[in-house]
Amino acid sequence: MSAHKHFLLHKPYGYLSQFIYELKRKKKLLGELYDFPEGTMAIGRLDEDSEGLLLLTTDGQMSELVRSKKVTKEYYAQVDGIITQEAIEKLKKGVEIGFDGIRYVTNPCNAVKIDDPGFEPRSKKIRDERHGPTSWISITLNEGKFRQVRKMTSAVGFPTLRLVRVRVGNVYLDNLKSGEVKEVGQFSL
């Protein structure tokens, strides 16, 4: 059998983190971005509205390893309003969010206000400047519940407008452009 293939992808806004979508509505899928080899799977997911680093592999064991090691993931979130230090402290300690109809308190995490990271504009405009100021924060987690970062920032009063994953373990998004794919030898997490 041939050696496994591993890829880094800067998932653009509006794409699902999957190759097949069975429901009726037409969705943009990963296979439209690159001619991935058969058997390629995404390790973890980013929701349709999120962007950034997605690891893909043909090695199912690698996928399991990444998920089982509780690998940290770092996100840059553009939030509605100028986030306060008080809100950041709440995020760091853990906040209560809903998950599958159950209340859940997030694990402590690292959160810090950052300058605008200067990402290229998104395909769909975030919103008009007349709606008030926005700010950026970095959140690093070792868990990943469904839409967790969005729920966390909302829980402290600063809804997420744009979410970009910039790191998984020791693998960084770096200068990968939106929609760009890079084949790598191995993931060094």
Report the catalytic residues. Answer: 47
Q: Which two tokens stand for residue 127?
A: 């919103």
Quick check: 67 and 14 in contact, CB under 8 A? no
Euclidean distance between CA atoms 133 and 91, whole angstroms: 20
Quick check: 105 and 94 in contact, CB under 8 A? yes
Quick check: 39 and 2 in contact, CB under 8 A? no
Euclidean distance between CA atoms 189 and 18, whole angstroms: 22
76 phi and psi, to 5 degrees?
A: -105, 125
| 152, containing H or E segment | helix 148-155
Euclidean distance between CA atoms 163 and 105, whole angstroms: 21
Q: Which of 72, 101, 92 is nearest to 152 (CA)?
A: 92
Euclidean distance between CA atoms 73 and 53, whole angstroms: 10
